[in-house]
Structure 1
């Protein structure tokens, strides 16, 4: 990298994950300062392009700490490609594919990675009856951080969509509920960093379990057989490569004692010192400032 150490940190935005993004962006800004960069944090609004073109000196890279729609679905990535500014994490196509749950699952299945049975339905379909045997999960097609996820169990007597508005589009994914342990694997470049088991007292690893204090506990490394850990890491790298990801990603799995089933790949995982990816990096001997520094040094743009 040149002597220019100016890095723009994109955070906030207007998705359902704005608050989480602000926390990630603030932590990244502090870590970049410790790593010897000159970061400029930007609370992203819809005039982000004009903001970036006015910065002086021109940023040598953008650290994308946005979460959710518009920040990790290829939209911001496309703008940065047009501006020819290198940015962290995956490019436009991989970001869009990972955010589109049905398409990502098709690609995983074609690559030989086990996925859960699913069907795409409308709100009217859900009101008319169960599209899958209970229990099953209902989730938005293109949201992250478990936003808008419901578990429909045998004991549910009422339909959660009967009276509540559904702000996540015309169609949703109904997916077979997978019992078992929640495992996650961070991928950095072309290698997996380790395996974490996520424990929670919530019904599942929902938004509050992810981000509320005490909502979840992380066991790193996960207390699983070495053969299972090695297979989880192999599948995480395969999923990363299948989507065409670059930089850092995180793959989430269910493990039922026999099979590993992928849930999703997150191309913009949380980036606070206690988030899952930095925890695994620390376990692998990589400090948080070194991690964000590596991500900046490996920033790219397409085009």
Structure 2
């Protein structure tokens, strides 16, 4: 850092240890402009494209869900993924066989088939595998009607997932309802990592992480807390924005898409929840974030900060 920037009062050194960045995100984008043939149609995609972007540019009838793929016309989209976690975007290529389209570079001359029988079956199997580990109580979910997994199931004519769904209430994790701003329902998480990338790479807050192994993998907090209330969350809401399912939902609209009947709610659907302990001040930041030793100016924080926004 130059002395010019080091002396700026609005650019102090970091006061907390976080783990920004996700080193496992591969550099998979094409190095040059490429012409790709998708289902017999030639499309030209710019430098830095992947196969799924060629598929999106083509007029093809093939349905490629790509649930862990984040595609938005915004700078932060460059910092989210690719992950290739769900493998619902598999397609067949003449040159490389079956590949995950979200994380395979759009090579010049590549020939892609979205309607290949083996690739279609792979996408269907992987979508059913995602559904098998998902709490499919859509009618009590705040994302009902705006859920990417729900859309994928409808688009692919899924009527009864071949591996069933996650419907054992005794095995459900409690809702994390401790925060005034964001509710976490880990039973709906598809482990796409979008929220972790948004928190660490885009907002650089270092709050979220994926923890555990195998079937115990889950959204966790970098400071080791068990609830959102005790995390270092600043309630920016970016994790909610990128979540494809109802795993992360803004408080206040958690029951916006449910039938207005007594007891018909997300909380009753799960049957158990982690509530606020009462030590959380009402405001835009969680207690752990506000209780840091120094604020951004390097001064001790005000003991009476007044009304929070």
Which TM-score band applies after superposition, normalised by the shorter structure? under 0.3
TM-score normalised by the chain length of structure 2:
0.26
TM-score normalised by the chain length of structure 1:
0.27
Q: Which has the larger radius of gyration?
A: 2
Structure with higher helix content? 1
Question: Using CA pairs below 8 Å that are at least 6 residues apart, which structure has the higher relative contact order?
Answer: 1
